[in-house]
Structure 1
Amino acid sequence: MIEKKEHLYIVFENLLRIKSECSSDLFSECGLPDITVKQIEYLRMIDEHGEVTFSGLAKITRNSKPTITEMINKFVKMKCVYREKSSDDGRIFYIRLTDKGQTLARSEEAALFKLIERMAGSLDEKDVDTLIWILQKVR
């Protein structure tokens, strides 16, 4: 049984490597091959919360407002976000994702879909059905 578990480990390690390659491809396509996991996480939070202000993001991420301001300034330079002044209160700015920022925020999902496409392209329909059946058993 140990041999099979080791083999399973190698197979899953390969799948994770392929997914990582798919993520790296997306980052390179956006011109940001060196973006960090933490930066992607912050972009994901902005994406998930939609209408988020600097103080709102500070609260969500448990960071100080100056830390958030510094991070957002970096994202603006990376062309991932922009500031939008509130129409109700000119002192309030919302943090909005650009198309590039949205792509990066959703990169894990996109990388997973690319991995699935590669798997489906490597297997026949019967093998895909078998794989689905097996993976549904995992709890």
Structure 2
Amino acid sequence: MDNENKLYETYSGLMKIKGQCGCKLIDELNMSELTLRQIEYIKRIGKYEYITISRLAEILKLSKPSITEMVKKFIKLDCVYKRQCKEDGRVQYIFLTERGKSIASFEDLKTKSLVDKMIKSLDENEINVLINILLKIKE
């Protein structure tokens, strides 16, 4: 087998492990009850320090009633919570729960899980060699 095929097979194996890490996280976070679109909406909510249903509807280009129903579902699933504005009691902000924050940062958590697996499998010298190799590729 030539080097290109070896590299391909090795990299594919590494991505398979990353996928397995992702599957484990999906189970841990019970994300199977969410659609990909809903996960994207949770990520969007997480990008804002303070966001209202009206503003979220504008951003997502959806109706306020649709967003209201979505937020109700997310509250039931412990992904978001609402808090009333101290200055204007009519305004409610939407915030991510800890579970919602984990879902919003799913890709980072998946990568961290893979890196943790690498750290457990490699000694310090091997980790340094791998870092140097990856830095070369990044440039």
- Return the offset for 1:3: 4.0
1:27 paired to 2:41? no
Change (3 A) 1:81 1:133: same
Give structure 1 stretches of 5+ with no counterpart: none
State the Cα deviation string for residues 12-51 of structure 1 (Å, max 9, x = none): 2222222222222223223333433332222222122121
1:37-116, aligned counterparts within 5 Å? 37-116=36-115
Counterpart of 1:123, as a letter, is L
TM-score by length of 1: 0.83
Aligned match of 1:118? 117
Counterpart of 2:137, as a letter, is V
CA distance in 1, matches of 2:13, 2:59: 34
The question of whether the paired residues in 2 share the 8 Å contact of 1:27 and 1:35 is answered with no
CA distance in 2, matches of 1:95, 1:60: 14
Question: After the TM superposition, which of the residue ranges 27-36 and 67-76 deviates more from structure 2?
Answer: 27-36
Aligned pairs, number: 138
